[in-house]
């Protein structure tokens, strides 16, 4: 086994460097063909970085907050009904928003693994600049993030940690460049697949920038990426970074009809990892609140989850709860590797503009984004903006609470 491990390490190093109503408390969500039926009603009108990373041995002062590009609607964008294909050249197919500079779209998305534990890593860096963020359970009562950066750049993203099997799905879906800290040998064997191996970036002596240690090199959570440096690095490595086909999502400004409010979302991955999304009507976005201690009989402890790069609270135009199979790929006294085979079909629940929508998701091609479908089979319309996707298991328990609140409780396989 030691020889196999050494072989994988050497090969990977060569590749990287060489180139409706209240639901019962115990309810189990239905299958994709029978999503929860919610009563329709009238639509609700919605309310209206570039500093390079320098490796140092001691703590580095925080860079100035990165300004966020705020898209403005012009005559060419008045309809604001885009997708799932034929996007205009300046419209981001992952957000439905115009991008400036448009050159940001002439590349592959950048997929970056960001830690959420221990709590001392918070507030993390750069996630407010991601177009899409996936959160999922990794074992040991913890969740972790993988952010997809395309329309915006971020001068510092992290702390970056190790990969899991699910990250291969995300990298394929977005035809992305995947940046991660390292991985178990089993996970590396999947990431080293022919269609992925030339699009991986891990830490070594030759790739800072874009991937650098900021702080003590002996510490775990000091690895960060600068997305503004990725393109030049890939050119030097002769890695293909051409624009990819990212069709599949639809965006409309008009709020789809829904009979059920969805302004408060509680998601519990474990008694240690739990959080809330609260809808702000004035801002038209869901804001993230993260646990600050273990869940107790007295309830949870929350604080706004901030972004150290922009000094803003993390928020989302769309929050989607995806219910997918979860199973142990490997389980021993020392190792737990969970597989989330995100293929085929399943159910989910989408939140936008303070409303909830039952979904069926379908993903038939490994290199394509999932289709998001309403119960009548029509394509679901995301709100223009960023999207957070909460990956939960098919056995997830959920219930509707008072005042437009929903509670989701994940359980391990």
pLDDT in tens, 362-387: 999 999 999 999 999 999 999 999 99
DSSP 34: S
pLDDT recorded at residue 6 = 40
* Within a domain: 36: no
CB burial of 15-50 (b: ≥16 within 10 Å; e: otherwise) equals bbeeeeeebeeeeebeebeebbebeeeeebebeebe
- Prediction pTM value: 0.82
Query: Read out DSSP for 131-152?
Result: SEEEEEEEETTEEEEEEEESSS
* Within a domain: 32: no
* Within a domain: 35: no
* Within a domain: 243: yes
Domain with 111 in it: 2-19+50-409
What the block records as the tokens of 238 is 């002769």
The larger pLDDT score, comparing residue 30 to residue 393, is at 393
Q: Please tell me the total count of domains within the chain.
A: 1
* Within a domain: 43: no
The larger pLDDT score, comparing residue 18 to residue 339, is at 339
* Within a domain: 29: no
pLDDT recorded at residue 216 = 72
Average pLDDT over residues 393-398: 90
* Within a domain: 293: yes
Q: pLDDT at residue 16 above 60?
A: no
* Within a domain: 39: no
Q: Can you give the CATH number for the domain in which 225 is found?
A: 3.50.90.10
Distance separating alpha carbons of residues 347 and 36, to the nearest angstrom = 9
- Give the 3-state secondary structure of residue 67: coil
Burial grade of 84 (CB within 10 A; 0-12, 13-18, 19 or more) = middle
From residue 133, alpha-carbon distances to 148, 157, 318, 386, 388 in Å are: 6, 13, 11, 8, 5
Of 1-15, 267-281, 314-328, the poorest mean pLDDT is in 1-15
The larger pLDDT score, comparing residue 346 to residue 47, is at 346
pLDDT recorded at residue 331 = 79
Q: pLDDT at residue 246 above 90?
A: yes
Q: What is the edge-to-edge ordering of all strands in the sheet holding 371-373?
A: 200-201, 177-179, 110-114, 142-149, 132-139, 387-393, 318-324, 344-352, 355-363, 371-373
DSSP 17: H
The sign one gets for the Cα dihedral 268, 134, 115, 405 is negative
Beta 306-307 vs 285-291: how paired, if at all?
unpaired
Of 103-112, 224-233, 328-337, 401-410, the poorest mean pLDDT is in 328-337
Residue from 410, 22, 5, 331 nearest 184 by CA: 5
Q: pLDDT at residue 320 above 80?
A: yes
Of 4-13, 311-320, 358-367, 390-399, the poorest mean pLDDT is in 4-13
Residue from 65, 22, 32, 245 nearest 155 by CA: 65
């Amino acid at each position: 086994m030691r020889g196999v491990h050494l072989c994988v390490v050497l090969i990977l190093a060569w590749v990287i460097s060489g180139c409706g109503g209240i639901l019962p408390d115990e309810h189990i969500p239905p299958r994709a063909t029978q999503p929860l039926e919610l009563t329709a009603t009238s639509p609700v009108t919605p309310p209206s970085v570039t500093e390079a990373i320098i490796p140092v041995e001691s703590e580095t002062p925080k860079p100035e907050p990165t300004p966020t590009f705020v898209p403005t609607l012009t005559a060419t964008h008045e309809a604001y009904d885009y997708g799932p294909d034929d996007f205009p050249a300046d419209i981001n197919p992952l957000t439905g928003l115009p991008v400036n500079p448009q050159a940001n779209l002439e590349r592959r998305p950048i997929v970056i693994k960001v830690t959420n534990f221990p709590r001392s890593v918070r507030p993390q860096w750069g996630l407010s600049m991601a177009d899409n963020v996936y959160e999922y359970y990794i074992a040991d009562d913890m969740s972790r993030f993988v952010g997809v950066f395309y329309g915006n750049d971020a001068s510092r993203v992290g702390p970056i940690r190790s990969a899991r099997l699910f990250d291969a799905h995300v990298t394929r879906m977005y035809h992305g460049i995947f940046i991660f800290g390292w991985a178990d040998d089993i996970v590396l064997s999947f990431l080293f697949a022919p269609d992925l191996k030339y699009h991986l970036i891990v830490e070594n002596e030759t790739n800072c920038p874009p991937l650098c240690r900021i702080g003590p090199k002996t510490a775990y959570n000091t690895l960060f990426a600068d997305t503004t440096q990725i393109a030049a690095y890939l050119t030097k490595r002769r890695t293909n970074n051409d624009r990819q086909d990212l069709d599949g999502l639809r965006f409309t400004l008009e709020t789809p009809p829904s009979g059920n409010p969805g302004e408060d979302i509680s998601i519990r991955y474990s008694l240690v990892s739990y959080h809330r999304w609260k809808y702000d009507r004035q801002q038209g976005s869901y804001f993230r609140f993260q646990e600050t201690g273990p869940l107790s009989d007295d309830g949870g402890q929350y604080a706004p989850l901030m972004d150290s790069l922009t000094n803003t609270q993390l928020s989302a135009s769309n929050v989607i709860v995806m219910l997918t199979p979860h199973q142990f790929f490997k389980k021993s006294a020392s190792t737990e590797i969970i597989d989330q085979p995100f293929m085929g079909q399943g159910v989910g629940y989408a939140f936008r503009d303070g409303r909830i929508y039952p979904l069926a998701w379908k993903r038939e091609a490994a290199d394509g984004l999932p289709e998001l479908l309403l119960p009548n089979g029509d394509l679901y319309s995301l709100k223009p903006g960023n999207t957070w996707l909460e990956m939960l298991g098919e056995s997830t328990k959920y219930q509707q609470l008072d005042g437009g609140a929903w509670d989701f409780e994940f359980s391990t396989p």
